Structure 1
Amino acid sequence: MSTLAPVRVALAGWGAIGRVVGTALAAGEVPGATLACVVDNRPLGDAAPAEQVSFETAIDRADLVVEAAGQGVVRAWGERVLTSGTDLLVASTGALTDEDLAKRLLSAGPGRVYFTGGAVGGLDLLQAVRALGPLDEVLLTTTKLPATLEQPWMSEESLHRLRTATQPVEVMAGTARDVPVKFPRSTNVAASVALAVGDLDAVRVRVVADPAAVRTRHVIEASGPHGAYRFEVSHTPDADNPATSRVVPHAVLRSVGAIAGRPGQIL
């Protein structure tokens, strides 16, 4: 039996993802990790199973900050967490489309930065494939319910097209550099694929609205001289936040377990 002290986790965000993560940590469901405190910009009262504190206090109390609050938190606090010596697990990987921020996070320390795969698989293999050379083509197609893809920047014509769609409609096509900026709550997967591949511009992204999309679907297709790869996942959306999938908090918990040294993990 390990005699190491449990990893003290500060959870940033008490939304659809954070509630599941925090409740599981507080219940001791991740061996080697414990919930130390919660950070949120809303007063939580007794809703959270650990004390709600400021970000500054959380950094002092924790060995690991788990971000489940959105890209803005990564931008505002990510580097500071790492320079304080605290580790950081990022769920909102879409923030990494800011290459300057990504470089700062990857070079900051002494804290270590980690990224969770979230709602998609195959990223470990794509990251391994990089050792064989660059891929010729990488395409991600994300399909969601139209209502989850509505954005403030859209024109009335675009919104009408979404709201009256009776079949799949392509909402946007671009690269992993462009698309997550336009859909910050819906396309963290695009940034995660680019992180695995190592190039934002190498990943082409299609965002599709489908009124029949009972499940959110992500399809990754990649090919190069050393092989061809295809990964497809289809998830039930979270009931409280349909822009994310129900599996995402469990992917975060798996990442916390890996960081805490939980045995039996696939790395």
Structure 2
Amino acid sequence: MTTTLPQAAAAAAGHRPVRDVAVVGWGAIGRVVGTALAEGALPGARLTRVVDNRPLHGAPAPQADLAEALAHCDLVVEAAGQGFVRDLGTTVLTSGTDLLIASTGALTDPELAREIAEAGPGRVYYTGGAVGGLDLLQAVRGLGDLTRVRLTTAKLPATLHQPWMDAELTERLRTATGPVEVMRGTARDVPARFPRSTNVAATVALAVGDPDRVEVRVVADPGATLTRHVVEAEGPHGHYRFEVNHAPDAANPATSQVVPHAVLRSLAALTGRGGQIL
């Protein structure tokens, strides 16, 4: 989006233009983000439309289809899942609207990642979501490639069950009394198999710059009252380890409670409000 001279003058005077935001997906993430925007939690952004294919009651902004939403916003927050990014991400960007992606797992598809990167004039952003240390991993890339990157994610078994699992694995999840490794692969493979549970893997891959370099272990743990993500990375320039343990969202245990607040922090950084540090 091109900044006009009046906008530039306003910014120089300390008065940044307010972003008009449409939230796509009114679930565990979108509801928290949209409600915060509607309540004025971010002075630099206001909620103008909500996009969801289900009938909504009590949403704090008019419900609309994507075409109408794009006519009333300059920034779309995606909280609807990888399918929206695959099917409609470029539509948002080619309309001239910016796009903030929460479902980063979609970007492990190299063809889609290329299409998203080349689309415009809208700009694309992604949020770190439920994992930290990304800024350090991005900085380390300037020193050279990491020789090893590993992510271990542990969640409750019920949040990890997928339609593609065979009867044996399904039974192992159902009867697990301790940790069970469900899958091991790269950050390109795993998010596609667990589209609602492993966006963290894709986010780490985006920071590292290569999804094939990131080894991912997905563990079902019946004792996992908190969702755990452990990132381990090493190279000739150093060794790094980050561990986070999040409370799952009560309505959607596959999502950590912190994720919508990470989206709000990203929005605050994009709007330049609230003293956020990029």
Task: State the SS of the aligned residue for 2:71.
Answer: helix
Q: 2:20, 2:87 → 1: CA distance?
A: 22
Deviation at 1:263, TM superposition (A): 4.4
After superposition, what is the alpha-carbon deviation per residue over 1:53-98, rounded to whole angstroms, capped at 9, x for unaligned? 1101111211100000000011111111111111000000000111
Match of 1:59 in 2: 70
1:40 to 52, 61, 66: 52
Q: 2:121, 2:268 → 1: CA distance?
A: 21
Matched letter for residue 84 of structure 2: V
Matched letter for residue 21 of structure 2: V
Q: 2:195, 2:64 → 1: CA distance?
A: 26
Task: State the SS of the aligned residue for 2:125.
Answer: strand
Q: 1:29, 1:166 → 2: CA distance?
A: 43
Q: 2:242, 2:64 → 1: CA distance?
A: 40
Q: 1:55, 1:25 → 2: CA distance?
A: 19
Matched letter for residue 229 of structure 1: Y
Q: 1:129, 1:111 → 2: CA distance?
A: 29
Task: Give the TM-score normalised by structure 1.
Answer: 0.98
Match of 1:8 in 2: 20
Task: State the SS of the aligned residue for 1:37.
Answer: strand
Task: State the SS of the aligned residue for 2:23.
Answer: strand
Is structure 2 residue 163 aligned with structure 1 residue 142?
no
Deviation at 1:2, TM superposition (A): 3.3
Q: 1:216, 1:197 → 2: CA distance?
A: 22
Structure 1 unpaired stretches of 5+: none
Matched letter for residue 20 of structure 1: V
Task: State the SS of the aligned residue for 2:176.
Answer: coil
1:124 to 135, 138, 141: 135
Deviation at 1:4, TM superposition (A): 2.8
Task: State the SS of the aligned residue for 1:22.
Answer: helix
Q: How many residues align?
A: 266
**Would you say the 8 A contact 2:42–2:274 is kept in 1?**
no
Deviation at 1:129, TM superposition (A): 1.1
Matched letter for residue 125 of structure 2: Y
Task: State the SS of the aligned residue for 1:177.
Answer: coil
Task: State the SS of the aligned residue for 2:192.
Answer: helix
Is structure 2 residue 177 aligned with structure 1 residue 169?
no
Matched letter for residue 14 of structure 2: S
Q: 2:30, 2:76 → 1: CA distance?
A: 12
Match of 1:85 in 2: 96
Aligned counterparts, 1:185-196, within 5 A: 185-196=196-207
Match of 2:42 in 1: 30
Matched letter for residue 74 of structure 1: V
Q: 1:194, 1:36 → 2: CA distance?
A: 32
**Would you say the 8 A contact 2:18–2:271 is kept in 1?**
yes
Matched letter for residue 72 of structure 1: G
Match of 1:218 in 2: 229
Aligned CA RMSD, in angstroms, stands at 0.9
Task: State the SS of the aligned residue for 1:61.
Answer: coil
Task: Give the TM-score normalised by structure 2.
Answer: 0.94
Task: State the SS of the aligned residue for 1:73.
Answer: helix
Deviation at 1:157, TM superposition (A): 0.8
Q: 1:266, 1:129 → 2: CA distance?
A: 19
Match of 2:244 in 1: 233
Deviation at 1:22, TM superposition (A): 0.5
Report the identity percentage. 71
Matched letter for residue 89 of structure 1: L
**Would you say the 8 A contact 2:78–2:99 is kept in 1?**
yes
Q: 1:263, 1:160 → 2: CA distance?
A: 48
